[in-house]
């Protein structure tokens, strides 16, 4: 599920009452409010947990109550589209929940504004092996404000029937193999077909090429300030590799983003996509499959190889759990999160088809053919700059616009990168 950062206005309103509280309380260290022993805690989760793994939630509840007899654990469940609006309103009062689930891309503005309490990472199992993309999403200025919950990676998915018709029998292992195979598929199907359907405004994919080349969107200096780095040689190299792929294999609308990629893929006019692991299955759903049912038995997912010779670094999706700074039961909230995200809890999430929050439990999944692609891709991940003004970068769609300019030929890679650097530098350090 794609989760976007909330509007700056909403965050600003949310923290009106937060600033006075401060945000220096560390879960598991400071004790709960006023030295009292709370009789209950309130946990906010999304409907994913309510619908798909309620027994795992109950197990965490039971573990906490066993340690604190008489305690009541209350739950509220929200859809992703509703959660942050409700959270913003509540955080401006003294009735904040004690635990709240956040999409990893939603964490940053709340951490910047001091809405979440600092947590002691050592209190949580496997914290030393947390997946990089999730760990970064819960970290701000080298402090931890959330605990990774579960992950979802990006993989390449293609049609083995289309590949076979072009004489390609196996999924590619290297980028050279990939481009050679796509060349054959493209030649076989003509210019109205996209051997690789890759929307230009999908900045997650483009920045994966940047990361693969050793570049970055922005870098944090020794003084703590951030500076955009898209015009540096490594980043330009990655952008050129990305542009080359689009020029050869993407014959769809070059002004689109990835929101309906699975729908377009279901129309049968492309051989491959690179996106969230669920997109292939969504395209094969009878509601989306316009190929007469050919997708269901012909889709194969694999780790996307990068031009560097290694697996393409992926933007890791997923969820974190945080403790609002206004919680009156921070210690208990921290304990509940520890129970829910510990080794046993993550085993339960794996059983439900999720990726765990840590590399230790991810390792066995890499050896299972059913999970090899998603697990391997999740291990090599990147995250957005955790800078005070990153929200503004996303709000202004700086990356999307630069990528569209490159893909459509409006600007060269170098000129688009320099323009993006200028735009990013104007806002990235401004909270």
Where residue 27 sits, what CATH number does that domain have?
A: 3.40.190.10
Q: For residue 431, tell me if it sits in a domain.
A: no
**347 in the same domain as 291:** no
Q: Do both 124 and 187 map to the same domain? A: no
For residue 41, give the nearest of 57, 24, 17 by alpha carbon. 57
| Residues 38 and 168 grouped into a single domain | no
Tell the residue number behind the tokens 């598991």, with chain if given: 28
**Statement to judge: residues 213 and 347 lie in one domain:** no
Cα–Cα distance, 253 to 261 (Å, whole number): 11
For the chain, which residues score pLDDT lower than 70? 1-35
DSSP string computed for 257-322: -STTHHHHHHTT-EEEEEEETTHHHHHHSTTT--SSS-STTTEEEEPPB-TTSSBPPEEPEEEEEE
- Give me the pLDDT at residue 35, please: 57
Sign of CA dihedral 131, 76, 26, 89: positive
Considering the domain architecture, whether residues 139 and 259 belong to the same structural domain is answered as no
Between CA 4 and CA 377 the distance in angstroms is: 22
Residue 3 lies in a domain: no
In a domain, residue 244? The reply is yes
Distance CA 104, CA 276 (A): 14
pLDDT tens by residue, 334-354? 999 999 999 999 999 999 999
Looking at the structure, tell me whether residues 24 and 125 fall in a common domain: yes
Residue 288 lies in a domain: yes
What contacts 297, CB < 8 A, 6 or more positions away?
A: none
Which residue, among 313, 312, 3, 385, has the nearest Cα to 131 in the 3D structure?
313
Helix axes 398-407, 203-212, angle to 10 degrees: 80
Taking phi over 0 as left and psi of -120 to 50 as alpha, with beta for the rest, 368 belongs to beta
Q: Note whether 146 and 160 are same-domain residues.
A: no
Residue 430 in any domain: the answer is no
Same domain, 204 and 352: no
Q: What's the domain range around 110? A: 8-151+317-382
CA 54 to chain centre: 23
Tell me the pLDDT tens digit for each residue of 308-323: 999 999 999 999 999 9
Q: How far apart are CA 4 and CA 81, in angstroms?
A: 10
Residues 416 and 364 grouped into a single domain? no
Residue 32: per-residue pLDDT? 62
Q: Do 300 and 203 belong together in one domain?
A: yes
pTM, whole model, 2 decimals?
0.86
* 2 within a domain of the structure (yes/no): no
Answer whether residue 279 is part of any domain.
yes
What angle do helix axes 203-212 and 233-249 make, rounded to 10 degrees? 130
Q: Quick one: 146 and 162 in the same domain?
A: no
User: 61 and 119 in one domain?
Assistant: yes
How many domains are contained in the chain? 2
Phi, psi of 388 (to 5 degrees): -55, -35
């Amino acid at each position: 599920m794609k989760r976007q950062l909330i509007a700056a206005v909403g965050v600003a309103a949310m923290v009106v009452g937060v600033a006075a509280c401060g945000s220096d309380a560390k879960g598991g260290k400071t004790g709960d409010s006023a030295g009292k022993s709370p009789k209950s805690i309130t946990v906010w989760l999304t409907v994913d947990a309510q619908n798909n793994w309620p027994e795992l939630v109950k197990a965490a509840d039971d573990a906490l109550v066993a340690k604190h007899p008489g305690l009541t654990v209350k739950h509220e469940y929200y859809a992703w589209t509703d959660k942050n609006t409700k959270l913003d309103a509540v955080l401006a009062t003294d009735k904040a929940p004690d635990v709240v689930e956040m999409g990893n891309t939603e964490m940053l503005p709340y951490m910047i504004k001091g809405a979440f309490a600092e947590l002691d990472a050592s209190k949580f199992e496997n914290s030393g092996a947390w997946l990089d993309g999730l760990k970064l999403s819960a970290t701000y200025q080298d402090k931890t404000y959330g605990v990774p919950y579960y992950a979802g990676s990006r993989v390449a998915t293609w049609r083995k029937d289309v590949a076979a018709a072009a004489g390609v029998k196996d999924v590619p292992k290297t980028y050279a193999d990939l481009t050679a195979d796509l060349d054959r598929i493209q030649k076989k199907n003509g210019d109205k077909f996209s051997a690789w359907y890759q929307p230009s405004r999908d900045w997650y994919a483009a920045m994966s090429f940047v990361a693969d080349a050793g570049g970055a969107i922005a870098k944090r200096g020794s003084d703590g300030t951030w500076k955009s780095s898209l015009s540096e040689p490594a980043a330009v190299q990655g952008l050129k590799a990305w542009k080359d792929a689009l020029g050869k294999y993407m014959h769809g609308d070059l002004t689109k983003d990835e929101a309906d990629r699975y729908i377009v893929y279901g129309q049968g006019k492309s051989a491959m996509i690179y996106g969230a692991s669920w997109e292939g299955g969504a395209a094969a759903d009878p509601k989306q499959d316009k190929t007469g049912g050919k997708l269901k038995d012909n889709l194969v997912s694999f780790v996307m190889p990068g031009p560097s010779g290694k697996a393409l670094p992926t933007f890791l999706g997923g969820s974190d759990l945080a403790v609002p700074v206004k919680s009156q039961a921070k210690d208990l909230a921290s304990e509940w999160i520890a129970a829910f995200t510990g080794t046993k809890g993550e085993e339960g999430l794996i059983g439900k088809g999720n990726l765990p929050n840590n590399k230790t439990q991810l390792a066995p999944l890499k050896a299972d053919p059913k999970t090899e692609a998603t697990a391997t891709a999740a291990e090599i991940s990147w995250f957005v700059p955790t800078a005070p003004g990153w929200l503004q970068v996303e709000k202004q769609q700086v990356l999307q616009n630069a990528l569209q300019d490159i893909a459509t030929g409006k600007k060269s890679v170098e000129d688009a990168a320099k323009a993006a650097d200028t735009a990013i530098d104007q806002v990235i350090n401004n909270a």
